[in-house]
């Protein structure tokens, strides 16, 4: 499981010209799922993201977590995070999980993340052509891959 985490002042997902979800201060999480991912990956990644100290404290030092700032979260599925660019110029997405595997894992991630924070999780729409807008705060952008836990 791969995630791009962006600390945002605001973020939204628009589908067919209509805003589906939007948040204010918090995290935009782009989530890529591969065939080998499982419940252990979900639990580890959710705990890691929720507790990551990337929000400023009173002195401006990144010392607070999403929980500390009572931030919101927008989770968007993004299979292109598993793009392989080793051969040629056209990325291959063979490592990305097929929908029958990815959808339950994506839903499991959202449910697990929701169980860890008080604010309601906002989501995109799996498989839809989405327009994602954000105001990155910092900018702070962090990449996490559950295959690199150690």
Residue-wise pLDDT tens digits, 21-39: 999 999 999 999 999 999 9
Residue with tokens 């939007």: 22
Q: Looking at 14, 80, 85, 146, which residue is catalytic?
A: 80
**Residue 85: active-site member:** no
Q: Show the domains of the chain with their CATH numbers.
A: 2-145 (3.50.80.10)
Q: Collect contacts of 47-50 with beta carbons under 8 A, ≥24 apart.
A: 47/116, 48/144, 49/3, 49/5, 49/113, 49/144, 50/113, 50/116, 50/117
pLDDT at 109: 98
This prediction's pTM: 0.94
Residue-wise pLDDT tens digits, 63-72: 999 999 999 9
Query: What is the DSSP pairing of strand 55-56 with strand 62-64?
Result: antiparallel
All residue ranges of the chain with pLDDT < 50 are none
């Amino acid at each position: 499981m791969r995630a791009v985490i962006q600390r945002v002042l605001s973020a939204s997902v628009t589908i067919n010209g209509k805003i589906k979800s939007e948040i204010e201060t918090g995290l935009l999480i782009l989530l890529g799922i591969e065939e080998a991912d499982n419940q252990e990956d979900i639990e580890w990644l959710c705990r890691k993201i929720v507790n990551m100290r990337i929000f400023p404290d009173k002195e401006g030092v990144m010392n607070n977590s999403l929980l500390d700032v009572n931030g919101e979260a927008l989770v968007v599925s993004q299979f292109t995070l598993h793009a392989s660019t080793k051969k040629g110029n056209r990325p291959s997405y063979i490592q990305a999980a097929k929908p029958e595997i990815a959808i339950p894992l994506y839903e499991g991630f959202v449910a697990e993340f929701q169980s860890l924070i008080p604010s309601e999780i906002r989501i995109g729409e799996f498989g839809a052509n989405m327009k994602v807008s954000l105001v990155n705060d910092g900018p702070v952008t962090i990449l996490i891959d559950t295959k690199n836990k150690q």
